Chains A and B, each alone.
Chain A
Amino acid sequence: MCKETIRMVKLLAPVSSFDSAVDVVKAGADELYCGVRIPSRLKYLWLNRRPECEVPTYEELERIVKYAHSRKVKVILTTVMPFMTQSVEGDLRSHLRSCLNQGVDALIVTDLGILSLLRRMSVEVPLHASTFFAAMNLEGVEFLKELGFKRVILERQLTIDEIREIVQGAGDNVEVEVFFHGGGCSNYNASCYLLHWRLPRLAVKERVNPCMYLFDVYDASHPQAGRLFENVPVLDAFTWCSACRVRQLVRTGITGFKIVGRCLDREAQAFATEACRSLIDLAEKEPKQSSFEEKLEALKRKIVAFNLIKWGGPSLCATNRCYYSPFFTNPYPPFARAVEAKAGRRR
Chain B
Amino acid sequence: MRFSVQTGSLEKLREMARSRCDSLRFGDEFCQERLPDLASLREALRIAKGKRFVYVTPRVSTRGLNLIKGCLDALQEQGGLGVVANDLGVLNLLRKHRGLEPHLGRQLVYAPARCPWPDIGGRDIASSPFHAFGVKYARSRVRDLFYQTNLSYLPTLELLKEYGVQTVELDWIPGSFDYYKFLAEYGLRLSVHSHLVPVTVTRRCHTARLSGEKSPENCSKPCEEKALLLRHRKLGIDLHLQGNTVFRLEEPTRQGMRELEENGVEEVVVAIGPLTKIENRRDLERFLKAMS
Contacts and interface: CB of A to CB of B under 8 A. Distances in A.
| A and B form one complex | yes
Interface of A: 41-42, 44-45, 47, 82-89, 111-113, 115-117, 120, 132-144, 146, 155-159, 162, 165-166, 186-188, 190-195, 198-204, 211, 213-221, 223, 228, 234-236, 326-328, 330-331, 335-336, 339, 343
The winner among B158, B204, B226, B231 for most chain A CB atoms within 10 A is B204
Contacts of B89: 135-143
B199 A193 contact: yes
Interface in B141-160: 141-142, 144-146, 148-150, 152-156, 158-160
A327 B215 contact: yes
B289 interface: no
Contacts of A211: 200
Given A113-B155, A134-B107, A328-B215, 8 more contacts: A86-B153, A87-B152, A137-B65, A140-B92, A192-B201, A195-B115, A217-B210, A219-B229
Contacts, number: 240
Interface residues of B, number: 81
B145 A193 contact: no
B87 A136 contact: yes
Interface in B118-170: 118, 120, 123-125, 127-128, 138, 141-142, 144-146, 148-150, 152-156, 158-160
In the A-B complex, the 5 residue pairs with the smallest Cβ-Cβ separation, listed nearest first, are: A139-B89, A116-B155, A83-B150, A140-B89, A220-B227
Contacts of B90: 139
A88 B153 CA distance: 9
Nearest to B126: A201
Given A137-B87, A220-B229, A328-B215, A45 B201 contact: no
B8 interface: no
A179 B138 CA distance: 36
Contact of A87 (B145, B216, B240): B145
A164 B92 CA distance: 20
A214 B116 CA distance: 16
Nearest to A204: B127
B203 A156 contact: yes
B56 interface: no
Nearest to B215: A328
B61 interface: yes
A9 B227 CA distance: 43
A196 to B, nearest CB: 10
Contacts of B205: 327-328
Contacts of A134: 59, 87-88, 107
B107 A190 contact: yes
Contacts of B159: 112, 115-116
B241 interface: yes
Contacts of B128: 44
Given A82-B110, A138-B89, A143-B88, A194 B200 contact: yes
